[in-house]
Every structure is written in structure tokens, then in C-alpha cells.
């Protein structure tokens, strides 16, 4: 796969619609050509302790952030015609669908690929966490759970094994 958009969301709480940050890495011809990151005002707008511990974001970080539809207006033209790739597609795709539903936006049924599933085929044994697989593909994920860093790691994995 030479053309795709790697995507990663972080959520504020256990609701999939509560996306509070997004990272996108655009790959064309096997090369990274663009990157995008934004904080997002989550919906519902509260942070769970567990989520805050994972990514370090809190309500103060997103109180002045744009809502999802405003952020998606910036992302949509960047990813037009590209398949989406995520590490653990089940999570990121469900977040995207949930936030589209909350804002009553028409979901365009993006084709979605999963580097986690692909990594299990390539390396059947061991753990398949993003940081572990990224390291196997030569990417040092030192800022794990930052949406852009995770999207970059996903892109590196996709370029290596998809």
C-alpha cells in the first residue's frame, strides 16, 4: 500500500464519541506528504481519570478547542480518495463512526485497514501493541498516546507490512 491516511484518535472518556485529539499522516507514493494534528472539544465533554492517565490530556487542554465538525472540515480534503489505516482499527473506526453520529454527519464509509491485524499475520507470536510493532518496523515511538505520534507509528508500520 503506497497511498493512504494513517489516523489515530484519543478519547476523553469511555464514550467512543469523546474524541479529544486526532492525528493524521498522509502517505502518497510511499512517502509521507502531510501531517495534521488537532485537539478537539470532546462530546460528551468530561474526562475520565483512566483516559487522562493514558494520554495526559484534560478538560483545560480542550476547553477552547474546535468541535469535531470544524476539525473534520480541515481533514476531509486531505484524505479524499485515500483508504484509512489505524493500529487497532476497531477502536479508531468506531470513534470516527460514533462522532459522525453524534454530530449527525453523513458517514462516507471510508475503507479502513488495520496494522494490528496485519502485524499478527506477519509476527504470529508475541504482543502486538503499537509501540512494539513500530519498533519492529524501525520506528521509535517515544511519545506514545499522542495522536500524531501514534499516527506516524501506524504509517511506518503500514509502509513496512501492508
- Give residue 129's pLDDT band: very low, low, confident or very high (50, 70, 90): very high
pLDDT digits (tens, 9 = 90+) for 47-60: 999 999 999 999 99
Q: Going edge to edge, which strands form the sheet with 84-86?
A: 31-39, 19-28, 4-11, 84-86, 112-114
State residue 93's pLDDT score.
Answer: 98
Per 3-state DSSP, the chain is made up of helix, strand and coil in percentages (nearest 5) of 40, 20, 40
d(CA 28, CA 5): 9
* 139-161: average pLDDT: 96
pLDDT digits (tens, 9 = 90+) for 87-118: 999 999 999 999 999 999 999 999 999 999 99
CATH number 3.40.640.10 given to 4-161: no
pTM, full prediction: 0.96
Amino acid at each position: 500500500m503506497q497511498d493512504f491516511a494513517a489516523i489515530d484518535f484519543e478519547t476523553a472518556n469511555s464514550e467512543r464519541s469523546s474524541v479529544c485529539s486526532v492525528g493524521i499522516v498522509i502517505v502518497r507514493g510511499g512517502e509521507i506528504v502531510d501531517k495534521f494534528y488537532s485537539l478537539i472539544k470532546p462530546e460528551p465533554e468530561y474526562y475520565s481519570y483512566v483516559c487522562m492517565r493514558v494520554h495526559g490530556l484534560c478538560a483545560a487542554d480542550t476547553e477552547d478547542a474546535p468541535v469535531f465538525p470544524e476539525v473534520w472540515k480541515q481533514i476531509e480534503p486531505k484524505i479524499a480518495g485515500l483508504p484509512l489505516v489505524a493500529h487497532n482499527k476497531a477502536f479508531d473506526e468506531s470513534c470516527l463512526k460514533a462522532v459522525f453520529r453524534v454530530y449527525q454527519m453523513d458517514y462516507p464509509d471510508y475503507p479502513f485497514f488495520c496494522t494490528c491485524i496485519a502485524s499478527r499475520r506477519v509476527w504470529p507470536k508475541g504482543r502486538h501493541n503499537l509501540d512494539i510493532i513500530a519498533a519492529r518496523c524501525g520506528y521509535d515511538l517515544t511519545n506514545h498516546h499522542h495522536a500524531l505520534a501514534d499516527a506516524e507509528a501506524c504509517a511506518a508500520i503500514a509502509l513496512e507490512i501492508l
